[in-house]
Amino acid sequence: MPEAVITVILVVAAFLPSPIPEFRPTGPVSTVLVLLPIAILPWRRRWPLVVLIVLLGVFGAAAATGTLSPGVGIAVGVAMFQVSLHGPRPRALIIGGCAVVAIMLLTLLVSVGTVLDPRVVQFGLIVAFATAAGDGARSQRAYIAAITERAERAMQTRETEARRRVSEERLRIARDLHDAVAHQIAVISLNAGAASSAIGTHPEKAEDSLATIRSAARTVLGEIGDLMAMLRTEDNGETTPSPQSGLGRLDELVDQFAASGLDVNTRIEGDLHRVSGAVDLVAYRVIQEALTNAHKHGAESRAHVLIRVETDDVVVTIANPMDTSAPAARRDGHSGLGLIGLRERVASVRGTVTAGPAAAGWKLVARIPLESEGSV
């Protein structure tokens, strides 16, 4: 409440005509005492309890002169409101109770020997009401602060979730782009080298390599087109997945590598029809990525693929000879983002990937639960 309004209320309450003589100041001392709260109250926000105690003393001093000024009583109530507003509830209630008792005792002392007007009880009621009002205002402030904090926390959570979804979407797009491009670009690169070497001496081999390049280029353009169409399509706020590859196209994948000069031996153990959905796609991508690396970095141009369908998992193993004299980074074949993206894709369906040197070669093993649920 503005100080000017409080000042007006105190002055009016102090000098308003009243049928109770004790409510009006009768001399200069009592007049100074009833006006003193106007100078004291502005300090209540800095020292609320001190101001309350001082005003109770002023009320007592005025009572000693025979004056029970309503203005001083209201000032005590304003100070009590401030104490209750900024202090803990138990402390505020104790102080409020003590203030009510003190002001009632002082009122009764002045009233002794006179006709006790029931309206003198109003001073105690003023302080009690101020205590309750301050506690209510404090509770409302705390409630509003809690709601504001929850709203800010919810907003931060939404922003964090939005950033997480954007990050996941970027990773998914990167994986899809890698899947659509990396293998076919490797095929194009290898066949371009073969065509360049054979064009003068073996034109027919060069023509075969160029045909493979054309086929790979058409394939990569088609897959990129599917990816772009998927990114532009929304269904209730969710992207519509593009046509996916799977183990059903394994023979086609093996033929592509065979045309590029990589001899791939495949073996399947178990019922391949049990592998479906995201697991089917991830298993296919594991084989595609591993064979691409084997073609680029392996020795002897051959690789072995084993797909074993177990009770709860499908295990995909790809092994290929590796030139042990090559630098470590080249033997690894995974210095780029291929294996990182592969691990992320397998992890999205709760699977695991292990890769490393084995028996003068390189072996990659991916184990994927058959009932995985995830985004690929």
Do 11 and 142 fall into the same domain? yes
Residue 23 lies in a domain: yes
Q: What is the DSSP letter of 298?
A: B
The enclosing domain of 283 has a CATH number of: 3.30.565.10
* 119/315: higher pLDDT: 315
Question: Residues 35-61: what's their mean pLDDT?
Answer: 84
Looking at residue 332, its pLDDT comes to: 46
pLDDT per position as a tens digit, 112-141: 555 455 655 777 888 898 889 988 888 998
| C-alpha to C-alpha distances, 178 to 215, 229, 351, 354, nearest whole angstrom | 18, 16, 20, 20
- 7, 137: one domain: yes
Which tens digit of pLDDT belongs to each residue from 322-372?
Answer: 765 555 544 444 444 567 778 888 888 899 999 888 877 889 999 999 876
Both tokens of 85, joined, read: 């507003």
Question: In which band, very low, low, confident or very high, does the pLDDT at 265 lie, cut at 50, 70 and 90?
Answer: very high
CA 306 to each of CA 284, 340, 342, 350, 365: distance values in angstroms, whole numbers, following the listed order: 12, 22, 18, 20, 9
Give yes or no for residue 312 having a pLDDT over 50. Answer: yes
331 lies in which domain range?
A: 248-376
Strands 352-358 and 361-369: antiparallel
How many whole angstroms separate alpha carbon 48 and alpha carbon 269?
83
Is 112 domain-assigned?
A: yes
Name the percent of the chain lying above pLDDT 90. 14
Q: What is the pLDDT of residues 215-260, one digit of tens each?
A: 878 877 877 777 777 667 654 455 444 445 788 889 988 988 888 7
237 falls within a domain: no
Q: What is the DSSP string of 316-334?
A: EEEEEEB-TTS-HHHHH--
Q: Which of 80, 114, 147 is at the close of a domain?
A: 147
- Look at 307 and 5; give whichever has higher pLDDT: 307
Which residues lie across from 308 on neighbouring strands?
A: 269, 315
Q: Is the pLDDT confidence value at 49 over 70?
A: yes
pLDDT of residue 239: 47
Report the distance separating Cα 307 and Cα 339, nearest Å.
19
The DSSP code for 240 is P
Are 60 and 37 contacting, i.e. CB atoms less than 8 angstroms apart? no
Residue 185 lies in a domain: no
Domain count, the chain: 2
The mean pLDDT of 197-201, rounded to a whole number, is 83
Domain stop point among 89, 116, 147: 147
Structural domain contains residue 25: yes
Could you tell me if residue 177 is inside a domain? no
pTM (two decimals): 0.50
Q: Is 139 contained in some domain?
A: yes
Instruction: Identify whether 142 is part of a domain.
Output: yes
Domain-terminating residue out of 122, 147, 172: 147
**Is the pLDDT reported for residue 59 higher than 80?**
yes
- Determine contact, residues 292/315, Cβ cutoff 8 Å: no
